[in-house]
Structure 1
Amino acid sequence: MSNVKLTLISHHLCPYVQRAAIALTEKGVPFTRRYVHLAAKPDWFLAISPLGKVPLLIVKQDGGTDIVLFESAVICEYLEETQPGARLHPTDPLTRARHRGWIEFGSSILSDLWGFETAKDSENYEAKRNALIDKFGRVEAELGDGPFFAGSAFSLVDAVFAPIFRYFDVFDTIAPTGAFDALPRVTAWRKALAARQSVREAVTHDYADRLKTFLKNHDAWLLKATA
């Protein structure tokens, strides 16, 4: 696979793109990024994205043929199966299956996060906040001594949750959400992931400003909340 060239089609805020970028960096795989505006999707993008979503991974093979992979889980599994570098999935089948389950749980958190950040009134805001607290509580019960999900080894589960926690790095500068107040293990995990180089480099330097602009454009209740 040494001659394969990889291009990650990205959006500046997409947490699923961040998963793939983190996995690529953890694997030590060189890649390029190309950003698209999802509010005005270009024709070339729609032609190669069956779902009209990011991320896409364009795999340029030795003969010059481009193969396009879509869906972050598929991309990360492909990288794990084909690229050298640190393993991001456990070797034991049962443990690996459990990790895949928690990856899906992370995706369910992202669904609640969308409702939380786009809530336009206090009722919906509080409902989604409480849903998030409940789900993070389930994660708290699963964590060990850390620093990562499975202990000392960084995994794809970490790559999934790092973008989730990044949202709150920005939210916390606007209004306290209280999402992690009673969750010491999740809080420690969040801190460890924020310090990881692959996590820091998964977004551009203006990520926070872009997210705040998104909140303003959606008239988010979070901007009006004080507690």
Structure 2
Amino acid sequence: MKKKKSKTPNAPPFAVEEESSDAALCEFYTHSLCPYAHRVSLALAFKRVPHARKHVDVSNKPRWFLQVNPRGLVPVIRTREREVLNESIDLCYWLDASFVGENHPPLMPSDNDERNRALRLVKAADGGFIAAGLSFIGGGWGFTEGDPGDARRATLAAEVAKIEDQMDDWDTFLCGVDPSVADVVLWPFVERFELAMREFNDTELAEMGGKKFSRWMRHMKKLPEVRRLAPDEAKLLKSWRRTMRLDYFDYETADMDDP
């Protein structure tokens, strides 16, 4: 998959935040509430890539960030060569291809069948499970309280079943016994859908599938990277209740902790 890139000669010089080390291999521009940025946070964590983390208030974009990325969107990675890369899935693939070796565990399975499965799950994610989940919680990126109706419930259940159909009975994660790019791409939305469905729709996401899907959710929640990068549920709910939207990313209720 081709990555999108641009040069930013007028961007601020490469900098490492105090919380990061001088060994940072790239700059990562993010927002704590954004599920797409959360994908890249997970990829960086699983790949063990030292990086400088820059938080961006997307509701009030600072001029310096628009110099880095004129589109004004996160996530963004800026390399030491001052290349600016964006689009969350492309960034996950770029990280996996750029940082290899025993210090950087792969996100793409080595087994051909599992690798092809990961590619299929990633390709289908945005238009399949994620679209069905957004529709379930309210349609578009907004929230609607109450029962979403049989049709939306059936659509989401069908997408969960498609994910389960890809999994083997012995799989811990979506594509085998280790987390892969498929887990990284889907998990931020699973995490948010679970919370939103419980809060607004009185529904448990884990109960919409069979044993394999609920088992996968349990194993993901045990991973230290997932636990460390999980958004604060109380703050997330406060933001959602204030805006009734999943895609409004400010720092009035969110904070700039590790996620």
Q: What is the TM-score of this pair, normalised by structure 1?
A: 0.80
Structure 1: which 5+ residue stretches go unaligned? 221-227
CA contact (8 A) 1:162 1:194 kept: no
Q: How far off is 1:131 after superposition?
A: 2.7
Change (3 A) 1:142 1:92: closer
Q: Report the 3-state secondary structure (helix = DSSP H, G, I; strand = E; otherwise coil) of the residue aligned with 2:108.
A: coil
Which residue of the partner structure matches residue 189 of structure 1? 216
Q: Does 1:24 align with 2:5?
A: no
CA contact (8 A) 1:180 1:186 kept: yes
Q: How far off is 1:184 after superposition?
A: 1.2
Q: Report the 3-state secondary structure (helix = DSSP H, G, I; strand = E; otherwise coil) of the residue aligned with 2:26.
A: strand
Report the more deviating stretch, 132-141 or 169-178: 169-178
* Count of aligned pairs between the two proteins: 213
Which residue of the partner structure matches residue 153 of structure 1? 178
Q: Does 1:136 align with 2:160?
A: yes
Change (3 A) 1:123 1:194: closer
Q: How far off is 1:9 after superposition?
A: 0.7
Q: Percent identity?
A: 23
| Structure 1: distance between partners of 2:236 and 2:157 | 21
Q: How far off is 1:25 after superposition?
A: 1.2
CA contact (8 A) 1:132 1:179 kept: no
CA contact (8 A) 2:146 2:202 kept: no
Structure 2: which 5+ residue stretches go unaligned? 1-21, 246-259
**2:78 maps to amino acid:** I
Structure 2 residue corresponding to 1:177, chosen from 199, 203, 209: 203
**2:92 maps to amino acid:** C
Relative to total residues, which structure has the larger helix share, 1 or 2?
Answer: 1
Q: How far off is 1:124 after superposition?
A: 5.2
**1:19 maps to amino acid:** R
Which residue of the partner structure matches residue 250 of structure 2? none
Which residue of the partner structure matches residue 12 of structure 2? none
Structure 1 residue corresponding to 2:72, chosen from 52, 57, 60: 52
Q: How far off is 1:171 after superposition?
A: 3.3
